[in-house]
Amino acid sequence: MDWFGRARIEFTHAASPLQLPLKKGSASQARDSKTAMDLAQLCRDSTPVCQLNPLLFNGHLQTMWTAVAQAAPEIYYRRRIFDADHATYSGTFAVDFAVPPFEVLAPDPTLPQPLPPRTAFFDEASFAGIGSTDTKPMLLVLHGLSGGSYEVYLRHCLLPLLESDDEPWEIAVVNSRGCAGSSITSGVLFNARATWDIRQVVLWARETFPNRPLFGLGFSLGANILTNYVGEEGAGCPLKAAVVVGNPFDLQVSNKFLQRSFLGRSVYETVMGSNMKKLINRHREAIIKHTDLDLDRINQIKTLYEFDREVQCPTWGYPTEEAYYRDASSCDLLLDIRIPFMAIQAKDDPIAVEEAVPYGEFKQNPYTVLCMTSLGGHLSWFEPGGGRWHAKPVSRFLHNMATKVDLDAIPRDLPDHNSKQRPGVTFKPLRRKLQIDLSLE
């Protein structure tokens, strides 16, 4: 039982977690005379006591309080518009780079959409010289549904890294297409399986900053996208580690739980559907120009489920919403992750529900660790003083990975889930179908 906001914390991981080689001469190695630390222990060491506001004593109150508590660190950004380098996934998307504070000018009336607060465009000369051979850790961030770099839950996590005593981090937030004041310039929108933009930014960062260790952070829908990306890349993933927060994991299960309760249907599904409908209407001219979507039907929708029916299905060719949810879910791809990976979830999350969390997959894959709190809601975790608890394990996990672990020595060839299966029978998460080698018959 949870008393006065003190949440219980449980960790789920493989019986033999990934062994992380420590940097030679690191404080941890010198203190303990160890050359390695297992991933589960590093996650535990990164996770403090979870003391939340006792007045927000369940997931609904925690989640709904996000509409009221808008105080957050002031992060300044410079924006760059990237042209997609994939012929199929054409168009543009916006990336916001955290920078030192600058004088904020009046909004540019010529822009089709106003930029978020404390955000301005890079000038061409500054961006042309952004490349560096420094070894600073760099974090690439994905926000939640219809959000952006300005989100409160996101900024709380970034400040401790930007102000790190060891070495301040470099941070870039990849905004979903059309979000955070960005424009829609093609018929390719974002969805829960939209890994192409983060993949392009990772490859660009690898080339532009060849010596920087790259890390990933995702929230909610962005957590699902990041998990899919890391799983798709497998052992070749350019990221050194990743952490996700409030991942819905199994979109079909999460959606069914939302639809079966009054609050799920009438509050959460309706609010998310309304936000997506507003997003489409903000880009009405571009939608008419680049797509065949029926705006009249979209404006009649009330829930996110209905939005996915009217937008995601015709855009991507999914026959039903359920087919989209099954295909876009990241729960199976968890098995193919081959970098240190921490997931932070709350049992009482009313949106990324516990029933959708793939406990079994976390127990199978030694590269993954699940941190589950008994309280916290969806991307909330409000503390008594107004802080956000999840910012602590996120920033500490990333800091510990960057400062204590020999990132280049992490093995990526540990046996996977297929090693326990019958010869000739393999499960490929990316295909999500059991593959049987007929040549053995």
Task: Point out the residues that are catalytic.
Answer: 220, 349, 378
Distance, in Å, from the CA atom of 105 to the CA atom of 275, rounded to the nearest integer, reads 28
Q: 286-297 in b/e burial notation, b at 16+ Cβ within 10 A?
A: bbeebbebeeee
3-state secondary structure of 51: strand
State the Cα torsion 80-85-87-88 to the nearest 10°: -60
Nearest to 249 by CA among 229, 228, 234: 228
Distance, in Å, from the CA atom of 282 to the CA atom of 286, rounded to the nearest integer, reads 9
Distance, in Å, from the CA atom of 284 to the CA atom of 299, rounded to the nearest integer, reads 11
User: Could you give the count of Cα atoms lying within 13 Å of 224 in the half-sphere of its Cβ?
Assistant: 27
Distance, in Å, from the CA atom of 347 to the CA atom of 368, rounded to the nearest integer, reads 18
Tell whether the torsion through CA atoms of 354, 153, 234 and 80 is positive or negative: positive
User: Could you give the count of Cα atoms lying within 13 Å of 367 in the half-sphere of its Cβ?
Assistant: 27
Name the DSSP letter for residue 73. Answer: -
Query: What φ, ψ does residue 316 adopt, rounded to 5°?
Result: -110, -5
Token pair 């996770």: residue: 47
Distance, in Å, from the CA atom of 226 to the CA atom of 194, rounded to the nearest integer, reads 9
Distance, in Å, from the CA atom of 244 to the CA atom of 160, rounded to the nearest integer, reads 17
Query: What φ, ψ does residue 215 adopt, rounded to 5°?
Result: -130, 160
With a CB cutoff of 8 Å and minimum separation 6, the contacts of 364 are: 14, 335, 417
* Vertex 219 angle, CA 307 and 234, to 5°: 100
Which structure tokens are listed for 203? 């490859």
